[in-house]
Structure 1
């Protein structure tokens, strides 16, 4: 019988004390906010969750209602005796009993892989030192109700043996399901699972197909997510560019990559043709890549603002600008997207458009100029225009 994501017995479920559960430093939603995930402390992780994921909302419900046992978190062991094996207990109730003995003997601890917000909120509610160290003790939700504290300190957990065993569930839940992660977290998860399949000896194409089967998405969405995530990683590793804004608006990078002209400017192939075993952006195109990112996201390090005010301008405007060297140079120099766009049809068309605009402006002025006869200030402006017209005639003759 072939393997499938939900194969096997139900997993054991136990109530586990919150002090035995660690927040996950490999969670796709947290990793982007950590300088070095593998070296991040539990304090670092809880701080990130507080700052970026509204754990206060979860905490308010917990101190008011306690913990709903209908919503167990999912954990994997991070410390377990080397002689202990899940496979020795085919019956999930027997396995649960054996794990309970390890818990009672302080021989096991866990990492939460689904339920990080709830876990961090409980830790903050039940640990005054942690709240004070974060500087939030005065306003973070808390309670003195001992029954509530006991209830939320011992929470129902479904226990998986290995992290990779949970990957399929997370994909179905957060990519194809109702509780979808934001774009960056989806891409990070996709990349993680694909890398796991690569380690198992599959090719890139085979790995993507395997993830598609698990998630139940037969479109090219996962391939696009993986490619866009690789672009993010290359920006992070190869460019002097602060990638934090990309995380928050990750979908814009996908929009940019969807543009054929922007791909040509970056020197990369379309999704169906790109070689995923090589770097997407070659060194000779790294400056172009940095330009695209700066125009879309701004540059924190140089205090440059993005030139785009609307994501639709990536397709409607920027994709045309990158086709013309004159327009590109203008955008680099003046940070003026509209001005650069006006140069996409060449200097003659640009000059013609400006003269047409000036003609229309003077025609409009004629409608009410008679009201201001002998106005010296306005006459001076007209004289200035006359001189400019003579100069234009002279240059065009």
Structure 2
């Protein structure tokens, strides 16, 4: 690990007993609902979600990798030290060594061959990079995980950036987005986007009564949600607008349209009994924005839950081109009818297609008569 991240002092690497360490309950990488939880709960989540058993096998075979120490910070009373970087490795050690939190959570690894005493003994003390100041911790995390090589998931990044931006703004310094961007190796836009996306979800949860929706999007679809807010149509639809500076962003958060926001958040999640959401992929964000900006397309999307179908209503193709494409599709289907199994259901669908075509012909004819 590169130990040259910016600090006010000189970080020191020293060997520490694993029993002197504890998990960080405010680790930005944790899901938001786990922040502040007790150590057995955090350890259980890490064991379930982070595939620790493979890491445990590696540690037993090779020992702890000295070139990548844990990063720890002393608490006010000294020991125990809080692990601010390397919680996955520390969680693995905790379970292997059966520290109290692992015993309280009844957590253990199921190895075919139990570890030997000597294998465990050499893991009881590990190299740690001791950081003395909270400011140094924040700088390190931003340097390493926002613009560096070991990036966090979008939701964890956003929570870190939120803390940093709000801290800069609270100190009265200008251009918080730009300043934090410089710290983490990005620009103001790279900070403002995830910051705003997270803040909108917080307002939805805490002020607009959309708690369950906001929590689910934050947990499961934050990357797509962040990308979706790049769409000016979506921002306008939810009342967010195009605020650029910190003060304007805070004002825009007070002007959100609750019902429209509910609509967009709902489209990001599978409906009850459905396998997929209306908006399945961030690559569809542009098309979704165009649909949501059109009342007729929005209505179609709400009725059918089909983004492709709704998008046809705002596609730039002319009626003539679209109708001709549909005609050719039916002709090709007819020519290849022998390659399909045809039963009563298929005949009924063909009948529905015939009815729809007759209705289209009648409506087009009436429009022509009106024009005359």
Q: What TM bracket, shorter-length normalisation?
A: 0.7 to 0.9
The reply to whether residue 342 of structure 1 matches residue 312 of structure 2 is: yes
Deviation, 1:225, is 2.4
- C-alpha distance in structure 1 between counterparts of 2:186 and 2:155, whole Å: 18
The reply to whether residue 228 of structure 1 matches residue 197 of structure 2 is: yes
- C-alpha distance in structure 2 between counterparts of 1:226 and 1:13, whole Å: 34
The reply to whether residue 210 of structure 1 matches residue 179 of structure 2 is: yes
The correspondence of residues 129-278 of structure 1 with structure 2, limited to 5 A, is 134=105, 137=108, 139=110, 143-199=114-170, 201-203=171-173, 205-218=174-187, 220-237=189-206, 238=208, 239-240=210-211, 241=213, 243-270=215-242, 272=244, 275-278=248-251
State the SS of the aligned residue for 1:191: helix
- C-alpha distance in structure 2 between counterparts of 1:269 and 1:11, whole Å: 44
- C-alpha distance in structure 1 between counterparts of 2:52 and 2:148, whole Å: 22
* Structure-2 change in CA distance of 1:58 and 1:192 (3 Å): farther
State the SS of the aligned residue for 2:83: strand
Deviation, 1:23, is 0.5
The correspondence of residues 1-397 of structure 1 with structure 2, limited to 5 A, is 6-34=6-34, 37-38=35-36, 40-80=37-77, 108-127=79-98, 134=105, 137=108, 139=110, 143-199=114-170, 201-203=171-173, 205-218=174-187, 220-237=189-206, 238=208, 239-240=210-211, 241=213, 243-270=215-242, 272=244, 275-278=248-251, 280=253, 282-283=255-256, 285-298=257-270, 305-315=276-286, 317-344=287-314, 356=324, 359-360=327-328, 363-364=331-332, 396-397=365-366
- C-alpha distance in structure 2 between counterparts of 1:141 and 1:197, whole Å: 52
Deviation, 1:136, is 5.3
Moved more, 269-278 or 169-178: 269-278
* Structure-2 change in CA distance of 1:53 and 1:202 (3 Å): farther
State the SS of the aligned residue for 1:278: helix
Deviation, 1:185, is 1.7
Q: Residue 94 of structure 1 corresponds to which residue in structure 2?
A: none
* Structure-2 change in CA distance of 1:390 and 1:297 (3 Å): closer
Structure 2: where are the runs of 5+ without partners? 338-344, 367-372
- C-alpha distance in structure 1 between counterparts of 2:134 and 2:249, whole Å: 25
State the SS of the aligned residue for 1:60: helix
- C-alpha distance in structure 1 between counterparts of 2:6 and 2:352, whole Å: 79
Q: How many residues of Structure 1 are paired with residues of Structure 2 in the alignment?
A: 351
- C-alpha distance in structure 2 between counterparts of 1:27 and 1:281, whole Å: 29
TM-score, reference length from structure 2 = 0.79
- C-alpha distance in structure 2 between counterparts of 1:336 and 1:26, whole Å: 40
Deviation, 1:42, is 0.2
Contact 1:323/1:344, CA 8 A, preserved across alignment: no
TM-score, reference length from structure 1 = 0.75
- C-alpha distance in structure 2 between counterparts of 1:244 and 1:124, whole Å: 30
Structure 1: where are the runs of 5+ without partners? 81-106, 370-376
- C-alpha distance in structure 1 between counterparts of 2:336 and 2:39, whole Å: 71
Q: CA deviation digits over 1:145-187, x for unaligned, max 9?
A: 2232222221222222232221111111112221122222222
Deviation, 1:309, is 3.5
Question: Which protein is bigger by CA-based radius of gyration?
Answer: 1
* Structure-2 change in CA distance of 1:186 and 1:142 (3 Å): farther
Deviation, 1:299, is 5.4
